[in-house]
Amino acid sequence: MAILKIARMGHPVLARPAEPVADPTAPEIRAIVEDMVETMIDAPGTGLAAPQVHIPLRIVVFFVRKERCTEIPGDEPADLTVLINPELTPLSEEMDKGFEGCLSVPGMTGNVARYRRLRYAGYDLDGNRFEREAAGFHARVVQHECDHLDGILYPQRMDDLGELGFVEEMRKRQIS
Ligand code: NI
């Protein structure tokens, strides 16, 4: 197990599509996932995608704490989830805005529109395909992490960069 270096916005590994994992059960994939989880917990972060640790493979890890879930029906907490070769399907056209941060864009936060509800599917480390439906914050986390696999960082999803700023400044703005 090791804590990996996190790539920051501007590094090319964050800007290009990641490759599908040929065999989710391969020992080297398990080792990558273990390091990703350790890195995410150390950071700390709520999710991490493999390109963020300079590994251009379609793997994300995340968890959803109950306190972060919204009132939107279907926004449920999730234990640590390993999602390999994910597929996302929005379940409606509805979008919600919410502030996001990213370990690759340290110190900053921005207001991003995401699909309110979606279905996601992928493989776990045993090679089993699983599928879930999610909404609200849970759906937001999945969209954010899976965007990393397509070389997209959250500022690229923003329609108003006036809503991007340093966390400390944005907190002051919310209080005033
Ligand atoms: Ni991120």
pLDDT in 10s for each residue of the chain, 176 residues: 899 999 999 999 999 999 999 999 999 999 999 999 999 999 999 999 999 999 999 999 999 999 999 999 999 999 999 999 999 999 999 999 999 999 999 999 999 999 999 999 999 999 999 999 999 999 999 999 999 999 999 999 999 999 999 999 998 887 65
Determine the distance separating the centroid of ligand 1 and the alpha carbon of 50, expressed in angstroms: 10
**C-alpha–C-alpha distance, residues 16 and 149, integer Å:** 8
User: What type of residue is 167?
Assistant: V
Question: Measured in angstroms, how far is the CA atom of residue 73 from the centroid of ligand 1?
Answer: 24
Beta-carbon contacts of 109 under 8 Å, excluding residues fewer than 6 positions away, are: 99, 100, 101, 164, 165, 166, 167, 170
Please state the pTM of the whole predicted model.
0.96
Are 64 and 33 spatial neighbours (Cβ–Cβ below 8 Å)?
A: no
Ligand 1 centre to CA of 152 (Å) is 9
Q: What is the pLDDT of residue 176?
A: 56
54 CA distance to ligand 1 centroid (A)? 13
- Catalytic residue chosen out of the listed positions 71, 87, 131, 145: 145
Asked if 19 is an active-site residue, the reply is no
